[in-house]
C-alpha cells in the first residue's frame, strides 16, 4: 500500500500528492491476529482507524453487535476532534491490518497541510451529519411521512 491508495478511504479521498504522502507518513500500521482486541468500549479514544486488510467486528454494551467493518472503512473519525471514550469495542474478525491516525499526528498534519486537514475535517462533518440523519430517520421515519 502507498500514499496513493489512501483515496479508497472516503474521508481521505480528496487528498493527493504531497498531502497524501505527508498523511501516509503519519499513519501507524498495526497487525492484528484473529480475536485480538484493537480497543474496548469506554477506553479513551486517541484517533481514527483505517481498516487496510481483513475486518473488525464491532459491538457495544448498549446495542450489542454492530457488524463488521472491512477493508476500506474508517472507524472513529470523530475522535480526531472530540476527546472522550470509545463508544464500541473493535476485535479482529480474522488476521487484519489497520492504520492508526492519532489525534496528535493529525495535529501535525493540520500544521503542515492546513488545506488538506480542512478537507478531512469537512469529510468528517459530512459523515457525522449523515449518521445523525440516519439515526433520526431510524427513530422517527424518513422525512415527509
| 63-85 residue pLDDT tens | 766 767 889 999 989 899 888 99
141 occurs within a structural domain? no
76 occurs within a structural domain? yes
* Structural domain of 86: 3-136
Domain containing residue 125: CATH number: 2.60.120.10
93 occurs within a structural domain? yes
> Could you give the number of structural domains in the chain?
1
142 occurs within a structural domain? no
pTM score: 0.85
Q: What is the 3-state secondary structure (H, E, C) of the chain?
A: CCHHHHHHCHHHCCCCHHHHHHHHHHCEEEEECCCCEEECCCCECCEEEEEEECEEEEEECCCEEEEEEECCCEECHHHHCCCCECCCEEEECCCEEEEEEEHHHHHHHHHHCHHHHHHHHHHHHHHHHHHHHHHHHHHHCCCCC
| 26-41 residue pLDDT tens | 999 999 999 999 999 9
| 86-95 residue pLDDT tens | 988 999 999 9
Amino acid at each position: 500500500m502507498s500514499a496513493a491508495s489512501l483515496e479508497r478511504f472516503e474521508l481521505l479521498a480528496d487528498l493527493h500528492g504531497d498531502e497524501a504522502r505527508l498523511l501516509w507518513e503519519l499513519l501507524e500500521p498495526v497487525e492484528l491476529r484473529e480475536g485480538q482486541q484493537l480497543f474496548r468500549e469506554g477506553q479513551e479514544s486517541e484517533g481514527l482507524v483505517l481498516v487496510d486488510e481483513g475486518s473488525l467486528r464491532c459491538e457495544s454494551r448498549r446495542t450489542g453487535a454492530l457488524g463488521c467493518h472491512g477493508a476500506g472503512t474508517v472507524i472513529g473519525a470523530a475522535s480526531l476532534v472530540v476527546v472522550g471514550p470509545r463508544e464500541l469495542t473493535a476485535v479482529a474478525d480474522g488476521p487484519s491490518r489497520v492504520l492508526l491516525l492519532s489525534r496528535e499526528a493529525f495535529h501535525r498534519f493540520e500544521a503542515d497541510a492546513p488545506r488538506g486537514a480542512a478537507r478531512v475535517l469537512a469529510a468528517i462533518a459530512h459523515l457525522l451529519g449523515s449518521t445523525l440523519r440516519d439515526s433520526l430517520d431510524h427513530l422517527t421515519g424518513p422525512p415527509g411521512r
